[in-house]
Amino acid sequence: MKKLTRENLFSLEKYSEIRNDFRLKIMAHKKNRHLAIGPNTTLYFEDSLIMHYQIQEMLRAEKIFESSAIDDELVVYNALIPDGNNWKATFMIEFADEEERRAALKKMLGIENNLWLKIEGFNEIHAISDEDLERSDDNKTSAVHFLRFQLDHEMIDGLKGGCQLSAGINHPEYKYTVNPIPQNISESLISDLD
């Protein structure tokens, strides 16, 4: 998947003009990019369009217009764009009640290492979590993790050939499976692959 460059970005003035329409486009796009696994966790699959929006919003909020600062944002957000043979996702543990969330994060220690995707006919693809920083400690996990799911060529060919995709979490405190992943999400994810 193509990484973003400064040439892909709108000036602050231009973005101000198109922001509402761009946001509507992103919201519609994101409907095909998130997958709830059970009642309290969601995978938000990233791509270049979503990262473009994130960068534009950051530049707008921080009023960033200097080239070096824009380049810094590109480096950060480009790392979240899939590479054509993987998916990158933000994994969120979501509880509305703060006390309930705090208690769950203690029980769910290591959950980020127990997520998987499975292409029909292949072994599970386990998430590679938080490569850039440690998000858990000995007492609790974080409510947000950055994940990568690495595929090989045979898996990609299988998906493009019609194999179903499923997902799940196999943690002692949280076990859920989505089988199959809804077609709109599966099709969107397949479009990320070379």
Where does residue 121 fall: left (phi above 0), alpha (psi -120 to 50 degrees), or beta otherwise? left
The model's pLDDT over 118-147, given as tens digits with 9 standing for 90+, comes to 999 999 999 998 655 555 566 888 999 999
pLDDT digits (tens, 9 = 90+) for 63-112: 998 999 999 999 999 999 999 999 999 999 999 999 999 999 999 999 99
Q: What is the pTM of this model?
A: 0.91
Residue 66 CA to residue 68 CA, distance in Å, equals 6
166 backbone dihedrals φ, ψ, rounded to 5°? -130, 170
* Beta strand residue intervals within the chain, DSSP E: 34-36, 41-45, 86-93, 115-119, 124-126, 128-129, 144-150, 165-171, 174-178
**% of the chain residues with pLDDT over 90:** 90
